Amino acid sequence: MRQSYDVVIIGAGPAGIFAAIELTKEGGAAPTVLLIEQGQDIEARDRGQLTRGWGGSGAYSDGKLILSTQVGGWLADYIPTKDLNSLIEYVDGVYLEFGGEAERFGDKPEKIKQLKRAATLADLELIPVIVRHLGTDICLKVLKNMRQHLGSRIDIAADTAVAEVVAADGRATGVKLADGTVIEAGAVIAAPGRAGARWLAAEATRLGLAKHANQVDLGVRVEVPAPVMEPLTDDFYEAKLVYRSKQFEDRVRTFCVNPYGEVTKEQYHDNIETVNGHSYADRRTANTNFALLVSTTFTEPFTEPIAYGEYIARLANLLGEGIIVQRLGDLMRGHRSTAARLARSTVRPTLVDATPGDLSFVLPYRYISDILEMLAAMDKIAPGVNSRNTLLYGVEVKFYSQRLKLSAGLETDLPGLFAIGDGAGITRGLIQASAAGIVAARAIAKGSRMNGQTTNH
């Protein structure tokens, strides 16, 4: 490690790795780059470190490359859709170049047209999503290839945490490591992922950077007999449907569809239990599950969307001693589900230790109303979704990191400090996190903060 670099990158997840690849690509300015990762290097890490180490959260991910401007992040808020589409194609090309060969799903134009039409007639919007499913094995192989490629081009410091971003004269000038070492830099890219989101938010507060509260997505996991969802699941890996509710004009969306899958529990910090779902490649259940989530962005004075989501999840845990499950018919009739009522349902719950209860004591009226409207709309394209037998599990909640105020090049209010990826609250998937790395690298190259030609702009 030297004392000074053109660019220092914090975090070796997809965002940081792609920034490094772009900065050092053939024919470029060949800047000096240091990539610092608090976790272990690729050969040393294991599944026990799910979100830390070379590859970040991507290393043991399912490797679903979601090739969409509207799913997997909010880069469309910074980059025109046309440019973002080209960028996503470019990123996909880089994954392919490093060995990410896999089949594409969801790109049959005739099927998309048919489903789009049916969705429109049902007052729903279909967001066509093309997915390349690498799977964990190929994902790891790609990350190893990238590590090898970058090994001869940049300096890499694994098992090294950045404690602070150093600023002087109104701009970022480097980083301070946990052991107190200061490394100077022309530009700093912070790509700390969800593992480092709190750290980045604290640094932003210390440095006086402008932030926006992000949304919180709250709702239920829906479980139906698999044939009910087959009109959607047969041709699409994951059909993303969006509904604008009539009463509140809230955005309600489907998320994480698991054909023939299982509903699962997820443990959040502070012992909060939330619901989730997954499906196995080699084992099928009789049911399909998916989440229905309502997105809420609070306005002033409230700035704690994560606390709000946690509060609702805790309420469900308080009443149900964990996850609550309710038949849709019981919810509509205004009474709780009981074990006896559940036994009369044609849908057998795949999460067996959920407590039969009443979600209307947990979710505010607004959320219940939005979800009931969405189920009625979905029933028009997947008849049976709105059946009294449908099971609803609560609550499912998705939290996102606080967003910093960023320019189109993803630079913060502090010149020279870029914030990208999931930790900056602007992405939530491999493709958009990787794309964010490219955006920051290109902005730095354009601002010529390298080869000692660092300029303020």
Q: Does 421 bind ligand FAD (CB under 6 A)?
A: yes
Fill in the per-residue mask, 210 to 249: x = in contact with ligand FAD (CB under 6 A), - = not in contact: ----------------------------------------
Q: Looking at beta carbons only, is 72 or 357 nearer to ligand FAD?
A: 72
- How is the beta sheet containing 391-399 ordered, strand by strand? 125-127, 240-244, 251-258, 287-296, 216-225, 391-399, 324-327, 355-356
Q: Does 320 bind ligand FAD (CB under 6 A)?
A: no
Q: Does 447 bind ligand FAD (CB under 6 A)?
A: no
Q: Does 161 bind ligand FAD (CB under 6 A)?
A: yes
Helix, strand or coil, per DSSP, at residue 281:
coil
* Binding piece for ligand FAD, criterion CB under 6 A, among 51-59, 88-96, 181-189, 443-451: 51-59
Q: Looking at beta carbons only, is 192 or 356 nearer to ligand FAD?
A: 192
Task: Please enumerate in sequence order all residues whose Cβ is within 8 A of that of 327, keeping only pairs 6 or more positions apart, or say none.
Answer: 337, 341, 342, 345, 388, 389, 390, 391, 392
The DSSP 8-state label assigned to residue 5 in this structure reads: E
| Smallest separation (angstroms) from ligand FAD to the CB of 45 | 9
What are the distances in angstroms from CA 211 to CA 115, 202, 406?
A: 39, 11, 9
Interatomic CA distance for residues 222 and 231, integer angstroms: 16
Q: Which two tokens stand for residue 150?
A: 């970058």
Q: Looking at beta carbons only, is 436 or 445 nearer to ligand FAD?
A: 436
Q: Which two tokens stand for residue 98?
A: 């490093």
| Smallest separation (angstroms) from ligand FAD to the CB of 417 | 14
Interatomic CA distance for residues 239 and 128, integer angstroms: 7
Output the CA torsion sign for 291, 292, 295, 296. Answer: negative
Q: Does 192 bind ligand FAD (CB under 6 A)?
A: yes
Q: Looking at beta carbons only, is 305 or 421 nearer to ligand FAD?
A: 421
Output the CA torsion sign for 287, 354, 215, 375. Answer: positive
Q: Looking at beta carbons only, is 57 or 215 nearer to ligand FAD?
A: 57
Number of residues that bind ligand FAD (CB under 6 A): 43
Interatomic CA distance for residues 268 and 273, integer angstroms: 6
Q: Looking at beta carbons only, is 325 or 431 nearer to ligand FAD?
A: 431
Binding ligand FAD (rule: CB under 6 A), the pick from 5, 6, 9, 16 is 16
Q: Looking at beta carbons only, is 177 or 242 nearer to ligand FAD?
A: 177
Binding ligand FAD (rule: CB under 6 A), the pick from 106, 196, 305, 309 is 196
Q: Does 425 bind ligand FAD (CB under 6 A)?
A: no
Q: Does 193 bind ligand FAD (CB under 6 A)?
A: yes
Q: Does 412 bind ligand FAD (CB under 6 A)?
A: no
Binding ligand FAD (rule: CB under 6 A), the pick from 195, 414, 435, 445 is 195
Burial of 170 (0-12, 13-18, 19+ CB in 10 A): exposed
Question: Are the C-beta atoms of residues 288 and 258 closer than 8 Å to each other?
Answer: yes
- Gyration radius of the chain's alpha carbons: 23
Residue with tokens 């190929």: 138
Binding ligand FAD (rule: CB under 6 A), the pick from 53, 305, 349, 357 is 53
Output the CA torsion sign for 96, 436, 53, 23. Answer: positive
Fill in the per-residue mask, 62 to 101: x = in contact with ligand FAD (CB under 6 A), - = not in contact: xxx-x-----x-----------------------------
Q: Does 430 bind ligand FAD (CB under 6 A)?
A: yes
| Smallest separation (angstroms) from ligand FAD to the CB of 112 | 20
The residues binding ligand FAD (CB under 6 A) are: 10-16, 36-39, 50-53, 56-58, 60-64, 66, 72, 161-162, 191-196, 199, 421-423, 427-431, 433
